[in-house]
Structure 1
C-alpha cells in the first residue's frame, strides 16, 4: 500500500473487512494511529477479546499489521499501513458474496464518514484554541460539466490532495499538529442524468 495508485482490495480482504466493527477498527487506526485491543475496546464499547479477534482477522489479510518493537506478548500494538486503499464498488460482474461484502464495507465507511462530518458541524468551538476555530472548510457547489470535464477536474483535485500528502508527510508527532480529514468528492447526480436524456423537459 505504498505506491501512488494504492491497493485495490481483493475478494479475500474485502470479505475480511465486511463487518461493521472491523470497518470501525480500521477507521480508528487511520484516525488515531496505533492502538491495542484494549484501547480499541474502550473507544468502541466492546470487550478486548472481541477487538482482538477482529484485529487478527484484519491482519490475516494485511489490512493492518503489528507495530514492531512495541508492546508485549500480552498487549500487542496494531497499525494501519500508510497508503490509500481502493474499495471496489458493488458490481454486477462480482459474485453475490463479493457484491454483498462490497456493499457492507462501502456503506459502513460512508456512514462513519458522515458521522465524523456531523460531529464536526455540531461541536462547540468555545473550548477550541482560536487558531483552530475557523480553520476548517465545508463546501458544496454545483457545476454543469461533460464527462471529460468531470474526469479532468477529478484529476486536478486528486493532484492537489497528493501534493498535500507529500508536503506534510512525516508530521505525525510534530508540535501543534492534529489529525485532519481531507475529503474530495465529485460525481454526477441522478436528476442531472435524467435531464440530459430528456432535454425537452
Structure 2
C-alpha cells in the first residue's frame, strides 16, 4: 500500500486533540498549503505565533502532524501533515459523551472549512484567476434513486477513480505551472424530510 492510500481512522485521543476550531484550521492549512511554520500559520490565521506553536505541539503529540526534520532551524521549526487519508468518525451512539462531543466539533469544523473553500472558489472574480484556470474546475450535483447495494457500488467506483487520479499525479510539488487543487467526491443518502405539525404552527 502506498503512503497516499493509507487511511487512518482517528482514535478517541486524536479526536480530542483535534477538537478545537483553531487546530482543525491549522490541520486543514497544512493539508491545503503544505509545510508551514508557527509564524506563517499565524499570519494566515490571524493569531500569534505563540498560539499556533502551542496548537502545533498538541497536534504533534498525537501524530496528527510531524516536524520536517531537514528544514528550518532550532528557532523556526517547519511542520507538515503526513501523506495519507484520514477517516473522521462521526458522532456515534456507542461513544462516550466526551468523545461524541469531540467528534461533533471536528466534523462540523472540518466541513465548515470545506464549504468555505468551495464558496471562495465560486465567488472568486475572473480578475483574480489566471485565464488558463478559469474553466478548469467542475462543480456538479446530481440526484438519483439508488438502493443501498447500488450506492455501495457507486461509492467503490468513485473511490477507484479518485485513487487512480491521485496515484497518477502524485509528487508534482514544484512542477512549473502546477498549483494545489481540491479534488472532492461526495455521495450520501438524503434523509426523509421532516414534516411539520400544523397544529403547532401559529
Normalising to structure 1: TM-score of the pair?
Answer: 0.93
Residues 129 and 3 of structure 1, relative CA distance in 2, 3 Å threshold: closer
Superposition pairs for residues 23-172 of structure 1, below 5 Å? 23-172=24-173
Where in structure 1 are there 5+ consecutive unaligned residues? 195-201
Compare 128-137 and 81-90 and name the one that shifted more.
Answer: 128-137
| Shift >3 Å, 4+ stretches | none
Residues 28 and 188 of structure 1, relative CA distance in 2, 3 Å threshold: same
1:176 is aligned to 2:150: no
Residues 193 and 170 of structure 1, relative CA distance in 2, 3 Å threshold: farther
Measure how far apart 1:5 and its partner are.
4.6
1:185 is aligned to 2:186: yes
Residues 190 and 93 of structure 1, relative CA distance in 2, 3 Å threshold: same
CA distance in 1, matches of 2:100, 2:176: 44
CA RMSD in angstroms comes to 1.6
- Three-state SS of the structure 1 residue aligned to 2:143 is coil
Counterpart contact for 2:4–2:83, Cα < 8 Å? no
Measure how far apart 1:191 and its partner are.
2.4
CA distance in 1, matches of 2:174, 2:24: 25
Residues 127 and 100 of structure 1, relative CA distance in 2, 3 Å threshold: closer
Partner of 1:197: none
CA distance in 2, matches of 1:164, 1:193: 39
Measure how far apart 1:173 and its partner are.
1.1
- Three-state SS of the structure 1 residue aligned to 2:3 is coil
For residues 42-70 of structure 1, the C-alpha deviation after alignment (integer angstroms, 9 at most, x for no partner) is 00000000000000000000000000111
Measure how far apart 1:129 and its partner are.
2.1
Counterpart contact for 2:42–2:52, Cα < 8 Å? yes
CA distance in 2, matches of 1:63, 1:76: 16
Measure how far apart 1:126 and its partner are.
2.2
Partner of 1:198: none
